[in-house]
Structure 1
Amino acid sequence: MMRNKWLWAALFIIPAVELFGFIYVADFLGAPKTLLLMLTTSVIGLVMMRFEGKKVLQDSKRHVEEGRVPGRTMLDGLCIFFGGLMLILPGFITDIIGFTLVFPLTRPLYRTFLLRWIEKKMKNGTFTYYRR
C-alpha cells in the first residue's frame, strides 16, 4: 500500500516540477528555444543510449564467452535502459537524471545504489534469485 502512495505522488509531483522547469526556462530563453533545447537533449540522449547500450551488450557477450557472470555489466544495462526512458520523457529534470544514468562517468553512483538495494532485498527475502 505504501508503494502505491509513492507512485501516485510521483505521477503528480514529477509533471508539476517539469512544468515549472519548462516555464522557468521558457521565460528565460523563450518558448521556441526551450522546445528546441528539449528536443535536442532528447536526441543527444537517445544517441548516447544507443551507443552505450551497444557497448554494454558487447561487454556482456564477452563476459559470458569467458565464463564470467556479467553482473556489473547487467546493472549498467539497467541504468542505460532507465536513463533512456527518462530521456524520452519531456522535461529538464528527467533529462538530467537520464543523462547521468546513461553517461559512463556518473553511472557508477547509480550502480552502487542498485547493488545496495538488491543486497538489502536479498537479505530480507523480498528479492529472489533463480538459477537455471
Structure 2
Amino acid sequence: MPFSIIPILLLAIPLAEIAAFILIGREIGVLWTLAMVFFTAVLGSILLRVQGLGLIARIRAETEAGRVPGRELVHGVMILVAGILLLTPGFITDALGFLLFVPAIRDAGWRMIRSRITIMAPGGMKPGGDYRNDPRSGKNPKGSIDLDESEYERDPDPDSPWSDR
C-alpha cells in the first residue's frame, strides 16, 4: 500500500463510520447502536486476551524448538491491530477487526507479507560466513584477547560527576 493513500484513508474511514452510525441508528435506534458498539469493544478485548495468550504459547514453543517464530510474530501484530480496531468505536473498523481475528485471514496476510520481509535470528551465520571468526567455535581469531575476570581491573574515574570526591 503506497503511503500516499494514508491521508485519504484518515479522512474516508471516519466519514464512512459516521455514515454507518447514521444508517444503523435509523434502523435499530440510538441506544441499540451504542450498545452494539460497546458490545463489540468488550468482545474484542476478550478475543484479544484469548488469542494473545494462545499466540504467546505458540511463540514460546517455536522458540524452544529452535525455530524462528516469524509467522507467529506477524500473527501477533495482526491480532494487536484487530484489538485496536475493535476498541475503536465504529462498525467498519469492527468488521475489519473481526476479520483479522480469523486465522485463515491472518495466514493469507502472512503469505502476502512473507516474500517482502527478512527474518533473522540471533546466532545465525550469514551465507558463506566464516565459522572461524565465530566466538562460539572455540577458536581464537587473530587480534582477539581472551581475559579472565582476575586479569582485568577497572578503577573509578576521578573526573566522573558521579564519583565520591
TM range (shorter): 0.7 to 0.9
TM-score w.r.t. the length of structure 1 is 0.82
TM-score w.r.t. the length of structure 2 is 0.67
Question: Aligned residues, how many?
Answer: 121
- AA aligned to 1:73 is E
Aligned-residue CA RMSD (Å): 1.8
State the match for 1:39 in structure 2: 38
SS for the counterpart of 1:26 is: helix
Which segment is superposed worse, 98-107 or 61-70? 98-107
Kept after mapping to 2: 8 A contact 1:87/1:98: yes
In the alignment, structure 2 segments of 5+ residues that lack a partner are 123-165
State the match for 1:62 in structure 2: 61
Larger radius of gyration: 2
Which deviations, in whole Å up to 9, do the C-alpha atoms of 1:78-131 show, x marking residues without a partner?
A: 11011111111111111011011123343323222332xxx24x5xxxxx6665
Residue 76 of structure 1, CA deviation: 1.1
Which deviations, in whole Å up to 9, do the C-alpha atoms of 1:49-70 show, x marking residues without a partner?
A: 1100110111001111111111
Give the helix-richer structure, 1 or 2.
1
* 1:16 lines up with 2:15 in the alignment: yes
SS for the counterpart of 1:50 is: helix
State the match for 2:155 in structure 1: none
SS for the counterpart of 1:83 is: helix
Task: Select the structure with the greater relative contact order (CA < 8 A; seq sep ≥ 6).
Answer: 1
Identity across the alignment (%): 31
